[in-house]
Amino acid sequence: MIPYFCKTFFTILPFHHLKTHLTNPIFDIISQVADSRGVQAFVVGGFVRDLLLKRDNKKDIDVVVLGSGIDFALEVAEKSGSEIPVKFFKNFGTAMLNYHGWEVEFVGARKESYRSSSRKPIVENGTLEEDQNRRDFTINAMAINLTRDHYGEFLDPFDGQRDLNNKVIRTPLDPNITFSDDPLRMMRAIRFATQLNFIIEPVCFEAIKKNADRISIVSEERVTDELNLIIQAKLPSRGFRMLDDAGLLNLIFPSFCELKGVDTIEGKGHKDNFNHTLAVLDNVAAQTDDLWLRWAAILHDIAKPQTKKFIQGTGWTFHAHEFKGAKMVPRIFRDFRLPLNEKMRYVQKMVLLHLRPIALAEEGVTDSAIRRLLFEAGDDIDDLMLLCTADITSKNPVKVKRFIGNFELVREKLKEIEEKDKIRNWQPPISGELIMQTFGIRPSKQVGIIKDAITEAILEGDIPNEFEAAYQLMVKEGEKLGLKKKIS
């Protein structure tokens, strides 16, 4: 249950100081253009919110003009000397220009209404009040006047400043209208609440629950953008729990919801993998901003529901969940429209290997096992160790102490073997090319068999990681396959 009122206050800029905070020269240029065209212009939305919060803005400025946004943008571009062409979105009547790395978007004040089957708005000209009305949250509906005579004047019709102070997400209109108009805003509400550590006003949260089904009309890419922002927050678990309480998580990420729950047989239960995964995610988030390592935390146990078994005398097992989990990653990435590239392969690798360091620690840290892990993890070994450490969520201090101690051992051994054998990102000293030349053969299964035998022997420590020893083994392995050396 999300508490209604959050007691923690924090200082925000007093509004009468806003003029002195419009330091970006673009505001002065906009003001001059507004003057010369005889129209009013305002900076609105995220820039104003972040200015008041003294928060870094992602270099986005939204400007509302009472008139044509496109013509206005063209004149600002000309005055600012920007060489980058203005981008137009004619259907929406918006134009965007780049000013020294800032994306400045211009739009004519509008009132919008939405069709029930789409989140694409029907746009009509409107007043500033109408424009503010149709925005998502009170904290995103604040504006600052850029018109010369009123420069710096703060326009906050829905008391967004109070909501910033009270840390509350609230909609300007009836939330059912705001969310039904644009269901992506349900994700945005939870995203802002997570990023800013705000609460969502209960009436607003109820409306999200009521309209949750309408998330289906939002494109997957937009949903994923918001989910990624939640994942990148300081405490992502809070966002996931809100998504879950609102009934959205089950719609956008059903396989994650399947991690929920505890089964008990013969008095033996297993841990709740939903809560465990969220704890791992927060642990990882405390150590790194890397989105993909955070995704690895989210997916590390994703196949536990499918692999769960109760074995008499042993208890609960999740045999091979790391293999099955790694296999599930491409499908999940495809569904979320996440990139199917090296980022995906990295997450797959993390899921596949996440049990290895702990198994190593438990079963004894041999040189060959460490070499194998280094070989498979390559440069991602440090990330893997971070994930595995984050995976320790046990409440039993004795267990935790044992795990941490074992990991220390694994870390020491990793360092020692790395210095000695240089296995990280290692290439076997004999190439496939050399095998083919030596035996006068074409690319074939035999080349792979010989190469694997050499790799295995080095990882096992049967031969040193050196050319001469590897060459001798190649000859021996070739002979076993009935091959004769053609060159010496």
Q: Which is nearer to ligand CTP, 45 or 69 (CB)?
A: 45
Residue of minimal CB distance from ligand CTP? 46
231 counts as binding ligand CTP under rule CB under 6 A? no
Q: Select the residue interacting with ligand CTP from 55, 58, 87, 399 (CB under 6 A).
A: 58
Q: Select from 4-12, 56-64, 87-95, 213-221 the region that touches ligand CTP (CB under 6 A).
A: 56-64
Could you give the CA distance from residue 41 to residue 39 in angstroms, rounded to a whole number? Answer: 7
- Which stretches does DSSP call E strand in 129-214? 143-145, 154-155, 168-169, 199-200
Could you give the CA distance from residue 406 to residue 412 in angstroms, rounded to a whole number? Answer: 10
Q: Shortest Cβ distance from residue 141 to ligand CTP (Å)?
A: 6
Q: Select the residue interacting with ligand CTP from 46, 67, 152, 330 (CB under 6 A).
A: 46
Q: Select the residue interacting with ligand CTP from 76, 94, 135, 375 (CB under 6 A).
A: 135
Q: Which is nearer to ligand CTP, 60 or 71 (CB)?
A: 60
60 counts as binding ligand CTP under rule CB under 6 A? yes
Could you give the CA distance from residue 272 to residue 270 in angstroms, rounded to a whole number? Answer: 7
Q: Select from 58-66, 292-300, 327-335, 464-472 the region that touches ligand CTP (CB under 6 A).
A: 58-66
Q: Which is nearer to ligand CTP, 251 or 392 (CB)?
A: 251
Tokens 């409306």 identify what position?
Answer: 207
Q: Which of residues 158-187 bind ligand CTP (CB under 6 A)?
A: 182, 184-185
Could you give the CA distance from residue 360 to residue 303 in angstroms, rounded to a whole number? Answer: 22
Q: Select the residue interacting with ligand CTP from 31, 40, 94, 140 (CB under 6 A).
A: 140
225 counts as binding ligand CTP under rule CB under 6 A? no
71 counts as binding ligand CTP under rule CB under 6 A? no
Q: Shortest Cβ distance from residue 27 to ligand CTP (Å)?
A: 16
Residues 6+ apart with CB under 8 A from 15: 52, 154, 156, 161
Q: Which is nearer to ligand CTP, 160 or 429 (CB)?
A: 160
Q: Which is nearer to ligand CTP, 58 or 100 (CB)?
A: 58
Q: Select the residue interacting with ligand CTP from 112, 136, 226, 322 (CB under 6 A).
A: 136
Distances (CA, A) of 292 to 281, 336, 354, 442: 11, 14, 14, 40
Q: Which helix (H) or strand (E) holds 50?
A: helix 46-53
Could you give the CA distance from residue 122 to residue 141 in angstroms, rounded to a whole number? Answer: 20
Applying CB under 6 A, the site for ligand CTP has a residue count of 13
User: Is 137 buried (19+), middle (13-18) or exposed (0-12) by CB count in 10 A?
Assistant: buried
CB atoms within 10 A of CB 404: 12
Q: Which two tokens stand for residue 63?
A: 């400007």
Q: Shortest Cβ distance from residue 79 to ligand CTP (Å)?
A: 24
With CA atoms as reference, report the closest residue to 35 among 27, 45, 23.
Answer: 27
Q: Which helix (H) or strand (E) holds 364?
A: none
Q: Which is nearer to ligand CTP, 58 or 234 (CB)?
A: 58
Could you give the CA distance from residue 373 to residue 4 in angstroms, rounded to a whole number? Answer: 49
157 counts as binding ligand CTP under rule CB under 6 A? no
Q: Which is nearer to ligand CTP, 188 or 270 (CB)?
A: 188
Q: Are 115 and 128 in contact (CB under 8 A)?
A: no
Q: Shortest Cβ distance from residue 130 to ligand CTP (Å)?
A: 13
With CA atoms as reference, report the closest residue to 377 among 351, 397, 344, 398.
Answer: 351
Q: Which of residues 239-298 bind ligand CTP (CB under 6 A)?
A: none
Tokens 């020893």 identify what position?
Answer: 469
214 counts as binding ligand CTP under rule CB under 6 A? no
Please give the residue ranges that form the binding site for ligand CTP (CB under 6 A): 45-46, 58, 60, 62, 135-136, 140-141, 182, 184-185, 188
